[in-house]
Structures are given as C-alpha cells and as structure tokens.
Amino acid sequence: MSEIFDFLKKTEVDSRKKFPSAPPTVDLPLSEEETARPAVEQEFDSVPAVSEIVPSDKFDLAECSPQLRNALDPATVVGEQFRALRTRLNLLQKQNEIKVILVTSTVPEEGKSFTACGLAGVIAQEPGKRVVVIDLDMRKPGSGRDLGLPRNHSAVGTAQVLKGEAGFRSQLLSSTVPEFWFLPAGALPPNPSELLSTPKLEEMIRSAADMFDWVIIDSPPVLILSDATMIAPLCDTVLLVVRANSTPAKLVLESINRIGRERIGGVVINRQKHLPASHYYQYYYKKK
C-alpha cells in the first residue's frame, strides 16, 4: 500500500501549498496490498439455486446513474479500472477463497456505494458469475440511488430481514443483467446498530455466500459510525474507498486501524483525475 499513501501524502502537500491550514501528513508503513483507481458511492429458508429465486421486483440497469453507466462501459477508462479491480479480486478469490467483500469509506461522500455497484456490475458481466449487492447502510442508503431506483422503491429490505419480518431470498431484486441481484436497505429502522448485533446478520451473509459467487456489502463510513466495524468480521475482506485530493492520510490510517489491518484487502482511490495511462488508453482505442 505504500504507493497509495505516497499519493495521499503528495496531494496533502499540494493542498497545504494552497491552504496552509490543511492537516499534517503522517507516515503509514503498511504492507503490500494492491489498489485500483477508478476515476470518477423471517427466518432463513433452505438455500436454493439462484435460478430458483423468484425476485420480488426487477430493476433496469439502463436507468442507473450516468457515473455507473460509465463504469459499466468497457470502452471507458473508468470501466477499464473497474475491470482491473475485478481481476485482482478474482486472483484473491483463487488464492484465499474470498467471496464476501465489505465496501466502506472513511467519511461520507467518498463514493463507496458507487464503487460497490460498479464492482458488482462488472463482475456480473463475466460469464457464469452471480453477484449480489446488499445495502447494509440502514441510515443513509446510496446503492439504490446509483442503480436508478426511486427513493421510495422498497419498504422492505435488509432491515426487515434482520428483524425477522421477511425472508432474504424473497426480498432480492433482479436486474436486466441476468446475474446481478440487489437487496435494498428497506424501511430505515430507528436502531440500526442493534439490528447489526443480532445473529440474523451472520445468517443472512452466510445464505448470500451460499447462493452467489460474490457478495458485495455496502456499509456506512468507518469513522462516522460503528456499523462497518461490526460487519467487517463477518466478511472475507474489506475495500476502503478514499476520495482523491480530499481524504487526509491520517483519516485513512485511523479507518484501517479501526477495521483491523489484517482485514483490509485494498484501497480504491476514487475521483482521481488524469490517470497516467489514460492518454495511452484513448490513443489505443480511438486511433483510426
């Protein structure tokens, strides 16, 4: 991860030249995980095959946000970066048998929901890969918005599953991409932390892991709430989304320490402009 923190520290130095009051940098001596840089947020039934699931509703990925459509397009730089991330995760899956990924950020507005949906979308484009996004941000859910669903698209979802009011598979939404599924946050509860501490959370995640090749969980930011630190131990790895030219390195370090360094599978630098290879990408694909 040293190159990530070198990048963060450099942007902070540049920022302090313009704004002398910017926070100081810190040395973050972490080991060698990799990163990708998208340019651009009831009781459990016996586990069925995914093909046997009867979804409660469908959603059309053609209606997703412009940013997500860009990420799902293989002919864009952003789309290529997401595919690079997918490749690295596929390698990790072969090496360590990971399947359940928690996607979080240090603070709000860093693009964790966009990253979770973009990653799931490119995974679903692989032949034979089944993926589900579970929105576990039961305070300010963002995945449904990025997928193009209306704000009040579902009064039932994760919260109601954890309360025991609905079954997991009955609340899954299927998309126009055949192997892309989504569980919305549902009607927001007054006590999200209490719901996350119930045994049903682990049951739900295990059921999802049995049914899908990849489970992508969108959680609240690490430094704002305790939710992500409660969910992380139930997942195989964590992707930490960091906003380029914005997130101080010391907040990244604090987030990593809260989650546990051994749980971090990588850091995604979001909204990074002017990638070094972007000029060559455009030249290669657009050249007549």
Residues linked to residue 101 through DSSP beta bridges, in sequence order: 216, 237
Residues linked to residue 104 through DSSP beta bridges, in sequence order: 240
Q: Which of 55-64, 86-95, 242-251 has the lowest mean pLDDT?
A: 55-64
User: Could you report the per-residue pLDDT of 197-212, keeping only the tens digit for each?
Assistant: 999 999 999 999 999 9
User: Could you report the per-residue pLDDT of 175-196, keeping only the tens digit for each?
Assistant: 888 899 999 999 989 989 999 9
Q: What ranges do the domains of the chain cover?
A: 2-283
Question: Per-residue confidence at 245, pLDDT binned at 50, 70, 90?
Answer: confident
Q: What is the mean pLDDT of the chain?
A: 79
259 to each of 4, 161, 238, how far by Cα in Å? 18, 25, 8
The CATH class, in words, for 2-283 is alpha beta
User: What is the enclosing helix (H) or strand (E) of 79?
Assistant: helix 77-96
What is d(CA 270, CA 282) in angstroms, rounded to the nearest whole number? 20
Q: What is the mean pLDDT of residues 234-252?
A: 90
Query: Dmax over Cα atoms in the chain, in whole Å?
Result: 59
